[in-house]
Amino acid sequence: GCHASGGKEVEVADLTGRNRALMEKLEEKDRLLVQVAKGQQEAKDKLPSAPGERAPSGGLGAPRGEGKEQEEHVRKLKDRVKMVEEALRAMRDEAREHVLAIKSNDILLNSMLGSGSFAEVHSATWHLPCAVKRLKDAVRSNKYEVQKFQREAYLLRSLLHPGVLRVFGFCKVDFLLVTEVVTGGSLHNIIHATPPAKLEHRQVLEYSSQVADILRYLHLCNVVHRDIKPENLLVDQRGTLKLADFGLACEKKGAYIQTRSNLAGTPRYMAPESYRDEKCTERIDIYSLAMLMWEMLTGLLPWEGSNFQDVRHAVASAGERPPIPLETPSPLAQLMRDCWHPIPECRPSAAEVLNRIAAMGVRSKFLELRERRHREEKERSESRSSSSSHGSSHSSHRTSASAHLRREVSGDLPPEGLSGSKPSTPTATGGAKTREPQVTTANC
């Protein structure tokens, strides 16, 4: 069991409350964005407003007064979105401040699971089994790598989605990042198993829907991962994906990512605008998702055998994309083409990707988890309202806090967000392989 004090139970219960408040605020933002899109479409349908002219919808258009009212309605909705985003930023800043400080002598390191250029990962024990990412001694004098390591810890702690690797705490003195352990291997290992076996189309859609769900959540939080690839997607024993390695992740402030350089990521999966070091948005993650889909369909590495300069020329200059297998269902093939469109604004959002995959008959596993969560919350609420015994309620709260602590430490806490082993990365849980080099010139 988990050997935790009563004080820690209160701390976890408080954390659970903050998580729920953040989830509600994210859902409010999502609803407002839907209303904005609907309002903008309605305003477009009412144009033109000159007498006798026909609107795009086929009607004569609305009077100028109604058009002005619709524009004002959309403007007010956008102002509310900005207010919600400010509240979200404050809530996530507070979540960062609650990163649990862990002492290294409370951690028992076990076998090494993998090693990369800058860090190594061990299986470990901290109350319960966990994984520990440790920055290598040789790079601790590298200010950039230390900052990236610390930023990953604080960023991950403020993200609350069942598809994002859960961080328990951080040891600043010894540069240790304590996370949940994922024992099912990485998506890379599944795709490139020996002997190789291409995934069935439905499995490709299932994994793609999970990644899209994770990206939908991150992008609502104004976080761009910038390194979506199979090695960074861990698979648990239930077949659920966990996105890891947020070392290159950035928070979007305004319309674009604010970095010294946008030339960052793993070349095989990088969008053309990243190669050109242009202003980037969250749509670079959507491009990477398309390359991931292609890799799952074919069982091949994108641009295998090509060097960095060749890939950059093909993607950013010549506008080339890998050939989609002929047997790919038409809706999936079109979704891939849209996701790797050369113009970022023409790529669908993560929410749109989710909807299009759902139209193909596959719903995100995380959506099912959220629906179950909402049902459980409703049942608990009804149970509390029907209970009149204060003593029973107090006991229930104490038991609930203890249960939350166990699930928090084990990584099995029900999803708090919206609608793995990587061999050479900090969260690896499988056999070691050489990690594909990243382009890491950017610093958030």
pLDDT digit string (tens) for 349-375? 999 999 999 999 999 989 888 888 778
Cβ 192 vs Cβ 299: under 8 Å: yes
Q: Which CATH superfamily is domain 187-364+419-425 in?
A: Transferase(Phosphotransferase) domain 1 (1.10.510.10)
Report, as an integer, the average pLDDT of 299-326. 94
Q: 120: closest CA among 107, 102, 139? A: 139
Q: Given a cut of 60, is residue 254 above it in pLDDT? A: yes
Single-letter amino acid code for the residue at 157: R
Q: Given a cut of 50, is residue 96 above it in pLDDT? A: yes
pLDDT-wise least confident of 65-74, 341-350, 417-426: 417-426
Q: What is the pLDDT of residue 299?
A: 93
Cβ 276 vs Cβ 316: under 8 Å: yes
Q: Given a cut of 50, is residue 283 above it in pLDDT? A: yes
Report, as an integer, the average pLDDT of 395-415. 42
Neighbours of 372 (CB within 10 A): 12
Q: Given a cut of 60, is residue 70 above it in pLDDT? A: yes
pLDDT in tens, 12-49: 344 445 555 655 666 676 677 777 777 776 766 666 54
Q: What is the pLDDT of residue 287?
A: 98
Q: What is the pLDDT of residue 89?
A: 65
pLDDT band at 225 (very low <50, low <70, confident <90, very high): very high
pLDDT-wise least confident of 73-87, 241-255, 276-290, 354-368: 73-87
Q: Is 378 annotated among the ligand-binding residues?
A: no
Report, as an integer, the average pLDDT of 101-125. 86
Half-sphere exposure at residue 426, Cβ-oriented, CA atoms within 13 angstroms: 26
Q: Given a cut of 60, is residue 442 above it in pLDDT? A: no
Higher pLDDT: 402 or 303? It is 303
pLDDT band at 117 (very low <50, low <70, confident <90, very high): confident
The catalytic residue positions are: 227
Q: What is the pLDDT of residue 307?
A: 93
Take residue 253 and report the two structure tokens written for it. 């402030």
How far is CA 149 from each of CA 245, 377, 410, rounded to the nearest angstrom? 10, 36, 23
Report, as an integer, the average pLDDT of 71-97. 69
pLDDT band at 336 (very low <50, low <70, confident <90, very high): very high
CA distance 435 to 217: 27
Please state whether the peptide bond connecting residue 230 to the residue before it is cis, i.e. omega within 30 degrees of 0.
no
Q: What is the pLDDT of residue 256?
A: 78
Q: What is the pLDDT of residue 27?
A: 66
Strand boundaries in 199-295, DSSP class E: 223-224, 233-235, 241-243, 250-251, 264-265
Q: Given a cut of 70, is residue 340 above it in pLDDT? A: yes
Q: Given a cut of 60, is residue 403 above it in pLDDT? A: no
Report, as an integer, the average pLDDT of 80-84. 75
Q: What is the pLDDT of residue 389?
A: 58
Q: What is the pLDDT of residue 351?
A: 94
Highest mean pLDDT among 109-123, 141-155, 295-309: 295-309
Q: What is the pLDDT of residue 48?
A: 58
pLDDT band at 406 (very low <50, low <70, confident <90, very high): very low
pLDDT in tens, 177-217: 999 999 888 999 999 988 776 799 999 999 999 999 999 99
pLDDT-wise least confident of 36-50, 250-264, 424-438: 424-438
pLDDT band at 420 (very low <50, low <70, confident <90, very high): very low
Nearest 5 degrees, angle CA 184-CA 185-CA 187?
A: 115
